[in-house]
Amino acid sequence: MTQTASTLPSNSRAAIAEALNQSVAETAVATMLAQNFHWNVTGMAFGPLHDLFQKMYEDHFVAQDDLAERIKSLDAHAEGTLAGMLKRSKVKEHEGKATPEEMLTSLVTAQETLAATLADSGALAAEHGDTLTEDLCIERGQIHEKFAWMLRSHLR
Ligand SMILES: [Fe+2]
């Protein structure tokens, strides 16, 4: 049976919020990763990569807020510290310099990781009957898979 924020039992809300906090954390780390590369990319593809990385971090910045506010709609705590996000995120930061190819490879991995995390979060929400959270996760997962394709296409 489908549930909404007001009808979900508290254990379901807690489990879904935990999954969403994972998604927020990884989206936040991916935001910084894309912005890092937006600043530091060099080479003949500077223009298009600088622009693509900006498109990504702007998308991710809005998405962090949408995911975190879904947690609040479920009446749970949205983790809002960078330290906490870094700890739980499977998307990792990139230390130091990188070539454009290394940047693209790192971002493909980040996008694929995020797509998997969001697919898992959506499936968990569905198990609890929370179709509205499931919908948000599906939408976000699709966007990350689209970015993964765009990034990957530079490397072929
Ligand atoms: Fe900029």
Instruction: Provide the percentage of residues in the chain whose pLDDT is more than 90.
Output: 99
83 near 47, Cβ under 8 Å? no
Q: Average of pLDDT values for 21-33? A: 98
Angle between helical axes of 46-73 and 131-153 (0-180°, round to 10): 170
Q: Average of pLDDT values for 25-31? A: 98
Give distance in angstroms: CA of 38 to centre of ligand 1.
7
CA distance 58 to 52: 10
Give distance in angstroms: CA of 113 to centre of ligand 1.
25
Give distance in angstroms: CA of 50 to centre of ligand 1.
8
- pLDDT score for 1: 84
Q: Average of pLDDT values for 68-94? A: 98
